[in-house]
Amino acid sequence: MEKVCVLGAGSTKYGNLADDSIVDITTQASVAAIEDAGVDPKEVKAAYISNVFGVADKQVHIGPVLMSNLGISDRPSLSIESACGSGSVSFREAYANVAAGFYDCLVVTGVEKVTHTGTEWTTTYFAYCSDFFYEGQAGASFPGLFASMARAYLTEFGATEEDFARVAVKNHENGFLNPKAHLKKRITIDDVMGSPVIASPLKLFDCCPFSDGASSVILCSEKFAKEHGGDYVEVSGSGRGGSPAALQGREHLTTIPSTKIAADAAYKMAGITPKDVDFAEVHDCFTIAEVVDTEDLGFFRKGEGVQAVREGRTSLNSDISINPSGGLKSKGHPIGATGVGQVVEVYDQLTGRAGERTVKDANIGLTHNFGATGASCAVHIFQGV
Ligand SMILES: CC(C)(COP(=O)(O)OP(=O)(O)OC[C@H]1O[C@@H](n2cnc3c(N)ncnc32)[C@H](O)[C@@H]1OP(=O)(O)O)[C@@H](O)C(=O)NCCC(=O)NCCS
């Protein structure tokens, strides 16, 4: 297999991008990544596009439109949908194609544009990503499903709702330092505890927002990166996993099997253990998810994730910086873009461009992104060179 590297990255702001079309923001992020890598568009051999609800902005099959805008309409593209995990799954497929030697340079772009559709539409359509027959149709949208996990965690491990609130406070603290973040504001535990209940025990500030946005990276072979020059980071591990689609099929509500499967594969490929990871961008669609993720990824033992948050061990430049970008909670969650956006953050961190939110002396970063309540998952590990 070829060694695979990230050679450049770009992103739009996340948030409400009502003035631009889905094609506009896809192109903006892709052009930013191409310019950042310093490659000629003609060197880009193919595109991987992750998107879930292009239909909401009247454009599906976005790849050929992007390629036409880039002036390389003869190049192939592939659209990938894997709910909120679309970005990392698309990244994985692009990775596999470069590793296999099919292409030496690709663009991987994730995009979503939904804020113009309103809360009712978005909540309903997002619920189509659950096991709709058993969950969405019965009235359990994502806040409700993650609330079930939160309730189980509170009962099983003696955690408190304030513990979950601390996750939100930390991620908003990091997101405040991120110029591209959707909810760029500092909050307190009282703000979280006093915010409206969305699905008990989760409150408004325990939830990620609905966001628009696009993120893009240039992926290439190590040979291409070396010949080309410029800052690059190596993709040293890649793993995927699955879980029963509906929560009722799971043995436990406080663990996500697909995370463990994907992480084990990625650690094995990279030849490292969780202790070697300096920082991680994890899927914190709701505060409970970040706690469960950090345990399933092996950073903390089961039930000890909340203790770690209480002790500030996941804050920026502590034991392990979790979500230095602000995470889905504060940076935002444009669902098709999120997994690629996490790679953008890791690239920025490992190439020394993360500004005030820099994780000091970091050399190994991890991304973790899943679809729905973790029915599908991908984990990637990156190493500075
Ligand atoms: C929690 C949620 C229902 C709130 O949506 P909403 O009721 O439509 O909120 P609105 O857009 O009307 O915004 C109302 C206010 O709350 C703020 N807000 C919205 N979502 C927020 C969030 N998640 N966290 C903090 N503030 C939020 C808005 O900025 C706005 O503030 P303002 O009045 O100062 O401008 C929605 O964000 C949600 O469902 N989030 C989860 C998304 C999801 O499930 N994603 C997939 C995960 S697997």
- The enclosing domain of 50 has a CATH number of 3.40.47.10
Gap between the Cα atoms of 369 and 259, Å rounded: 9
Residues 6+ apart with CB under 8 A from 376: 82, 83, 85, 89, 240, 241, 242, 243, 258, 370
The neighbouring-strand residues paired with 4 are: 221, 235
φ, ψ of residue 109 in degrees (nearest 5): -130, 130
pLDDT reported for residue 29 = 99
The Å distance, Cα 207 to ligand 1 centre, comes to 7
In a domain, 89, yes or no: yes
Find out whether the beta carbon of 209 lies less than 6 Å from any atom of ligand 1.
yes
Per residue in 33-63, pLDDT (tens digit) is 999 999 999 999 999 999 999 999 999 999 9
Instruction: Quote the ligand 1 centre to 208 CA distance (angstroms).
Output: 7
Residue 20 pLDDT: 97
Flag whether 176 is in a domain.
Answer: no
Helix (H, G, I), strand (E, B) or coil at 271: coil
Ligand 1 center–CA 119 separation, angstroms? 8
Any domain includes 134: no
Q: Is 333 a catalytic residue?
A: yes
In a domain, 78, yes or no: yes
Q: What is the share, in percent, of the chain residues with pLDDT greater than 70? A: 100
Annotated active-site residue in 172, 228, 283, 333? 333
pLDDT one-digit tens code per residue, 7-21: 999 999 999 999 999
Model confidence band, residue 306 (pLDDT cutoffs 50, 70, 90): very high
Residue whose CA is at the smallest distance from ligand 1 atom 37: 209
Number of compact structural domains in the chain: 1
Q: How far apart are the C-alpha atoms of 231 and 324, rounded to whole Å?
A: 20
Q: Model confidence at 346, in pLDDT bands (50, 70, 90)?
A: very high
Number of residues written out for the chain: 385
Paired tokens of 164: 């979950």
Q: What's the pLDDT tens digit per position in 122-156? A: 999 999 999 999 999 999 999 999 999 999 999 99
Query: Which of these, 161, 184, 166, lies nearest to 326 by C-alpha position?
Result: 184
Q: Which residues contact 253 (CB under 8 A, 6 or more apart)?
A: 148, 149, 152, 153, 247
Span 186-198, average pLDDT? 98
Please check whether residue 184 is in contact with residue 174, taking contact to mean a CB–CB distance below 8 angstroms.
no
Q: What's the whole-model pTM score?
A: 0.98
**Per-residue pLDDT reduced to its tens digit, 218-265:** 999 999 999 999 999 999 999 999 999 999 999 999 999 999 999 999
| Paired strand residues for 11 | 215
pLDDT at residue 143 in the model: 98
Instruction: Kindly state if the Cβ of 286 falls inside 6 Å of ligand 1.
Output: no
Say how far residue 233 (Cα) sits from the centre of its chain. 18
For residue 92, give its domain range: 4-117+210-228
**Residue 103 domain flag:** yes
74 lines ligand 1 (CB under 6 A): no
